[in-house]
Amino acid sequence: MIIELHEFTRVEGNGKAEIVIEDGEVKDVRLKIIEGPRFFELLTLGRHYYDVPDLEARICAICYLSHSVASVLGIERAFGVEVPEEIQLIRELGLIGELLESHALHLYLLVAPDVFGYPDAIRMATKHGELVKEGLALKSFGNRIRVLVGGREIHGINVKPGGFGRYPSVEELERVEKESEALLRLARRAVRLFAQLDPYGARAEHFVATDGYLWGEKLVSEEGEQFHYTERIEERSLVYSFAKQSRYKGEPFFVGALPRLLLKADMLTPTAKRLFEEHRDKLATGYVSYNNLAQAIELVYSLERANEIAKVLLDRGIKGENVPVEAREGEGIGYVEAPRGVLIHHYRIDGNGKVAYSNIITPTALNHAMMEASLLEEARELYGEADEMAMIQRLEETVRAFDPCISCSVHLVKL
């Protein structure tokens, strides 16, 4: 017998799942990514590097800037280009804006309705309007930062190899500084709310993140060593899904807000660190559902860090100079922490500056095996115990805790 979970709602993109029951027991779970393939690696093949980040941005709307930045990092590394701290800080600010926008969307509009028992945030707003408004305030601030750094709310083109089309002005940075401070109160309230939830889903045993907080030179795992994805992560195709599955040393693993906190707590800003310490025991259990709490703590981190960055840039003054980029043959990997976890852009570029090889692995693809493992565990626990509707509801919540971004997951290529 197969129990079907119909297309997930309140997630980005199209996916569903099947629970396979044999002899009255849950035998297997298949997470099916049914979003059509989008062939991004083929799209960028043979393209001039300058246009590639704008195209890659189109992989995902919720985290377009992570894709632009990962793309730019991959290209710059292929050419051996290093950018000064000013450019790095502005990029980081953009990624923070994206974290705010994406986490606020996920926590307030997609997850909170489960917490309060509503089908959506619009219907939740009649009774919990204040909370929905707070979420929208955080989200819109995140988006304003995305406009500032990326050039548009969605699919901006301002992030370029070697720098930016346009640099933020003093007034814009002053606004970031002020607003990030003012919104901190709301983020702290979100931490209180999501700290109350009981855990569900599986407990992850392996965690992977980039070695810096929002991007890095390499990846790290709970084992502490730094490595390139090609060394320890394997991908394989599935017969029932347009997304591939990845394993870390052959095992399912977890990327996202919770792994970031667990692996990189020492990089957090003061209040975020205090909140992490307060909830450390819970988070360290590794339940994927604590990803929600981890995201709430990251809202605090993002606001504090945005404030720091704005202050540093204002103190120093913006130079606004791009680094000259010269195309040469090379290979580079960009590692970024998209809001929902590690994002990898890997390119080889030829002597004419055109992409000769490209591989992109998105967080949802990296989490695919862990999502299945988590659904399996939850289904085994609930099958026969809870009624079927309640089980399905909980399974959907389990998927949602990963904050999956299904559209992004469906174009992985090895050429």
Binding site for other proteins (CB under 8 A): 7, 9-14, 34-43, 47-48, 51, 54-55, 58-62, 64, 105, 109, 113, 119-123, 125, 136, 139-140, 143, 151-158, 160, 164-166, 237-242, 244, 405, 407-408, 411-415
Q: How far is the CB of 58 from other proteins (least distance, A)?
A: 5
Taking only Cα atoms into account, the Rg of the chain, rounded to an integer number of angstroms, comes to: 21
Q: How far is the CB of 213 from other proteins (least distance, A)?
A: 25
In the complex with other proteins, the residue whose CB is nearer, 106 or 279, is: 106
Q: How far is the CB of 23 from other proteins (least distance, A)?
A: 27
Q: What DSSP element (H or E) covers 22? A: strand 15-22
Distance CA 49, CA 258 (A): 34
Q: What DSSP element (H or E) covers 263? A: helix 257-264
Q: What DSSP element (H or E) covers 27? A: strand 25-33
In the complex with other proteins, the residue whose CB is nearer, 289 or 409, is: 409
Distance CA 292, CA 380 (A): 23
How far does CA 233 lie from the centroid of its chain? 18
CA distances in angstroms from 385 to 79, 160, 258, 289, 391, listed in the order given: 58, 54, 29, 20, 9
Task: For residue 273, give the 3-state DSSP assignment.
Answer: helix
In the complex with other proteins, the residue whose CB is nearer, 14 or 269, is: 14
Q: How far is the CB of 407 from other proteins (least distance, A)?
A: 5
In the complex with other proteins, the residue whose CB is nearer, 29 or 219, is: 29
Q: How far is the CB of 221 from other proteins (least distance, A)?
A: 27
Distance CA 234, CA 64 (A): 25
Q: How far is the CB of 110 from other proteins (least distance, A)?
A: 8
In the complex with other proteins, the residue whose CB is nearer, 219 or 405, is: 405
In the complex with other proteins, the residue whose CB is nearer, 7 or 381, is: 7
Count CB atoms within 10 A of the CB of residue 235: 18
Q: At what angle do helices 64-79 and 121-150 cross, to 10 degrees?
A: 30
In the complex with other proteins, the residue whose CB is nearer, 10 or 273, is: 10
Q: What DSSP element (H or E) covers 360? A: strand 355-361
Q: How far is the CB of 281 from other proteins (least distance, A)?
A: 32
Amino acid at 142: G
Amino acid at 373: A
